[in-house]
């Protein structure tokens, strides 16, 4: 394995562990009643955000939804600003106006994640259209779940993107559940990737728990987008370990999910990556070092969030209209 | 001053905006057609290229969402809905996304998008090709809404909308496209939120916007001949609307008729009437009157259409009725 490749694996591991440990801490805080806002955890899907974002430049935009802690952190969003936002504090990335489902990091290309399912797919398409018109070389990533592919505007957007050859990658994170409903209860067939054919773009099914496979697929799709050839659909198959919202394990939604979950726990994306790295000669101490660094960052982020003030009540109606646009 | 039609004034605003600001582009259905949006965009695709004037697929939601997304990414898009009825397919990007974005993200990412919704009615087009839906959007915080009634305002408000920095719904009415009026050649803005007194008067205040404002001006001529002296206010913007201008007029005239070319329940007229009752009640000498469409879908057959829509004669009638009514004596508060 080349040094370059090994560096990539270390990078992926660091991004994934950051997401995992940050969310495990958030899960504890929700359980303890210290966090009140709805948190949709990404645990189990880390390889996708990490793999895709590792293939991007800082200026490239990333669009997500209600379950976007992973996208935000993988793209380089500030951990303290995210914790403060989730605590509803004025130093949060949205100054306590949004919470977990509204993450913002304009310095790294996150112009806002919002929870209306599939709503950011047209927005990402528009960001890609802006890049095409400006010829600024940026790529837009639309992250969305399998449920979003049932929305009409997802397909409207794919058609627009293909028609105008926009620099966008559609990343469908197929975790097989939309809230409590299994994919097979919502679709006549498990065939999400075929939407690519319908919209005349390449589509690829990717093992969404294999960070390296996700990264390699993303590199191909991003190169295509940046070259002005047009969009790509990646269907990354994975599984969300926790419930639709909150830290529970969601065992109440059916026996099938319980059986499935065990299989997917055995395919923990972080453990899979670690195994690859170990066989490439990375020592156990190296992982401990990363884990410890990330734990310290999370402690600092939480302390930062706790110490920040809440927004004052007299600012209730500020920002209804923007004043800074020129 | 040079005279242009309302449609030509809109076209000129588009051309000047496209010329002045490389961030401006236009997306919507029918934009390369010589007739789809009247004469209001003719030839812009030839003049500015089809990369910036995008005649889009039949996908209101995604095209509007793409316009919003491009705005978030720093562009100044204008998305065109040749019929407002079809714009309902794009309510998510307008209401959930564009309107909320500034607030949700503490003003850090503005959504400077202009959504042009065209009211296109009459001519036996029936319920789904006739609607004026301004009130639905007036309800939503974060949006601004303009409804020009003259060629001058049609140009100046479009330019102001693009430069505002917030999501602005620009609503124009096909019934006004042939109306002619003075329009300066240079770029200029009509301030959003500022109404104008079209005809000063002392008997009563008539508040309207868009087509019915033009009709109110016409009605005032008839009324004048009949010995009435109405003050006609054209709101031009319905969100925000010029409360001070309206309240000052009521303080002078003591009577208010609000005219809106849309439904009555929870409509623009309802909002203005309620605000008048809240703020200048003691100055009213008669109950506030509303002249709106009935709470019924737009009909097709000619006689039904004639009964449905508001033109100048209906405004004359409503004014005469209001002038004959008085506030009950026991409710009078002497100030």
| Per-domain boundaries in chain B | 3-182, 196-331
Other Cβ atoms within 10 Å of A151 Cβ, number? 19
CATH number belonging to domain B3-182: 3.40.50.970
> What residues of B are labeled active site?
60, 129
- Indicate the residue of A119, A124, A325 with minimum beta-carbon distance to B112: A325
Q: Which of A127, A318, A321 sits opposite B72 (nearest CB)?
A: A127
* Percent of chain B whose pLDDT exceeds 90: 95
Among A154, A135, A141, A115, which residue's Cα sits nearest to residue A227? A135
Region B20-46: mean pLDDT is 95
Q: Which one of B68, B109, B112 has the shortest CB-CB distance to A104? A: B109
- Rounded to two decimals, the pTM is 0.96
In this predicted structure, the answer to whether residue B334 has a pLDDT above a threshold of 60 is no
Report the C-alpha gap between B225 and A63 in whole angstroms: 62
Q: Convert the pLDDT of each residue in B90-135 to its tens digit.
A: 999 999 999 999 999 999 999 999 999 999 999 999 999 999 999 9
Closest residue, chain A, to B93 (C-alpha)? A119
Among B49, B96, B108, the strongest candidate for a mutation testing the A interface, having the largest count of A CBs within 10 A, is B108
d(CA B138, CA B136): 6
CB-based contact A144:A172 (threshold 8 Å): yes
pLDDT, residue A256, reads: 73
Which CATH number applies to B196-331: 3.40.50.970, 3.40.50.920, 1.20.120.1200, 3.40.50.300? 3.40.50.920
Q: How many CB pairs under 8 A join A and B?
A: 153
Residue closest to A133 by CA, chosen among B198, B294, B76: B76
**SS3 label, residue B306:** helix
pLDDT in tens, B194-215: 999 999 999 999 999 999 999 9
Identify which of A63, A97, A152 has the shortest CB distance to residue B105: A97
B272 CA: distance to closest CA in chain A (Å): 21
Interchain proximity B69–A95, CB inside 8 Å: no
ipTM: 0.97
Residue of chain B nearest A114, judged by CA positions: B97
Residue A1: what pLDDT? 81
Q: What is the DSSP letter of B87?
A: H
Fold match flag (B3-182 vs B196-331): yes
Residues of chain B neighbouring A120 (CB-CB closer than 8 A): 69
Per the CB < 8 Å rule, is A125 touching B57?
no
Which residue does chain B place closest to A103, by CA atoms? Answer: B105
Pairwise CA distance, residues A88 & A322, whole Å: 21
Work out the minimum CA distance from B335 to partner chain A, whole angstroms.
Answer: 34
Which domains, ranges and CATH numbers included, belong to chain A? 3-311 (3.40.50.970)
**In tens digits, what is the pLDDT along chain A, a chain of 326 residues?**
899 999 999 999 999 999 999 999 999 999 999 999 999 999 999 999 999 999 999 999 999 999 999 999 999 999 999 999 999 999 999 999 999 999 999 999 999 999 999 999 999 999 999 999 999 999 999 999 999 999 999 999 999 999 999 999 999 999 999 998 999 999 999 999 999 999 999 999 999 999 999 999 999 999 999 999 999 999 999 999 998 999 988 777 776 788 889 999 999 999 999 999 999 999 999 999 999 999 999 999 999 999 999 999 999 999 999 997 66
CB contact under 8 A, B66 and A111: no
What are the angstrom distances between the C-alpha of B81 and each of A129, B28, B58, B157, B172?
19, 6, 11, 17, 11
Exposed/middle/buried for residue B204 (C-beta within 10 Å: 0-12, 13-18, 19+): buried
Is B107–A125 a contact, with Cβ atoms under 8 angstroms apart? no
């Amino acid at each position: 394995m080349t040094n370059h490749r090994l560096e990539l694996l270390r990078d992926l591991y660091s991004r994934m562990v950051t997401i995992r440990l940050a969310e495990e801490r958030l899960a504890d805080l929700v359980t303890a009643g210290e966090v009140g806002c709805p948190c949709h955890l990404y645990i189990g899907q880390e390889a996708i955000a990490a793999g895709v974002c590792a293939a991007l430049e800082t200026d490239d935009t990333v669009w997500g939804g209600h379950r976007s802690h992973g996208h935000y952190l993988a793209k380089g969003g500030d951990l303290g600003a995210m914790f403060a936002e989730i605590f509803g504090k004025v130093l949060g990335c949205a100054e306590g106006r949004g919470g977990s489902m509204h993450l913002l990091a304009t310095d790294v290309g996150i112009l806002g994640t919002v929870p209306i399912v599939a709503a950011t797919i047209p927005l990402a398409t528009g960001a890609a259209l802006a890049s095409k018109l400006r010829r600024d070389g940026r790529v837009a990533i639309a992250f969305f779940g399998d449920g979003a592919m049932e929305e009409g505007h997802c397909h409207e957007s794919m058609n627009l993107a293909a028609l105008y050859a926009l620099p966008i990658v559609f990343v469908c994170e197929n975790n097989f559940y939309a809230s409590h409903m299994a994919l097979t209860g919502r679709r006549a067939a498990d065939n999400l990737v075929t939407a690519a054919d319908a919209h005349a773009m390449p589509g690829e099914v990717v093992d969404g728990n294999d960070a390296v496979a996700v990264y390699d697929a993303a590199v191909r799709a991003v190169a295509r987008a940046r070259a002005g050839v047009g969009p790509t659909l990646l269907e990354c198959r994975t599984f969300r370990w926790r419930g639709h919202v909150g830290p529970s394990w969601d065992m109440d939604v059916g026996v099938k999910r319980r059986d499935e979950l065990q299989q997917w726990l055995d395919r923990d994306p972080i453990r899979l990556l670690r195994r690859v790295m170990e066989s490439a000669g990375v020592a156990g101490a190296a992982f401990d070092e990363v884990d410890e660094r990330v734990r310290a960052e999370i402690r600092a982020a939480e302390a930062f969030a706790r110490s920040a003030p809440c927004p004052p009540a007299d600012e209730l109606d500020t920002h209804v209209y923007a004043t800074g646009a020129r | 001053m040079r005279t242009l039609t309302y449609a030509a004034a809109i076209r000129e605003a588009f051309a000047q905006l496209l010329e002045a600001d490389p961030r401006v582009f236009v997306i919507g259905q029918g934009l390369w057609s010589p007739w789809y949006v009247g004469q209001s965009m003719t030839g812009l695709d030839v003049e500015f290229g089809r990369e910036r004037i995008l005649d889009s697929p039949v996908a209101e939601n995604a095209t509007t969402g793409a316009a919003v997304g491009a705005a978030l990414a720093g562009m100044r898009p204008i998305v065109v809905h040749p019929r407002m009825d079809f714009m309902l397919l794009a309510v998510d990007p307008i209401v959930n996304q564009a309107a909320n974005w500034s607030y949700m993200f503490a003003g850090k990412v503005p959504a400077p998008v202009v959504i042009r919704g065209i009211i296109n009615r009459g001519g036996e087009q029936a319920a789904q090709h006739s609607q004026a839906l301004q009130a639905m959007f007036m309800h939503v915080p974060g949006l601004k809404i303009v409804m020009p009634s003259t060629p001058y305002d049609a140009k100046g408000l479009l330019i102001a909308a693009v430069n505002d920095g917030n999501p602005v719904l620009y609503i124009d009415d096909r019934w006004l496209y042939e109306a002619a009026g003075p329009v300066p050649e240079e770029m200029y803005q009509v301030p959003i939120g500022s109404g104008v007194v079209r005809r000063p008067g002392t008997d009563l205040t008539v508040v309207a916007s868009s087509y019915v404002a033009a009709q109110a001006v016409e009605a005032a001529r008839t009324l004048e001949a009949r010995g009435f002296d109405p003050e006609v206010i054209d709101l031009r913007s319905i969100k925000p609307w010029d409360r001070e201008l309206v309240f000052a007029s009521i303080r002078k005239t003591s009577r208010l008729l609000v005219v809106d070319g849309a439904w009555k329940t929870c409509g623009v007229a309802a909002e203005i009437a309620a605000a008048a009752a809240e703020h200048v009640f003691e100055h009213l000498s008669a109950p506030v009157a509303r002249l709106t469409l009935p709470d019924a879908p737009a009909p097709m057959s000619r006689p039904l259409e004639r009964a449905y829509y508001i033109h100048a004669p209906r405004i004359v009638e409503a004014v005469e009725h209001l002038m004959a009514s008085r506030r009950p004596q026991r409710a009078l508060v002497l100030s």
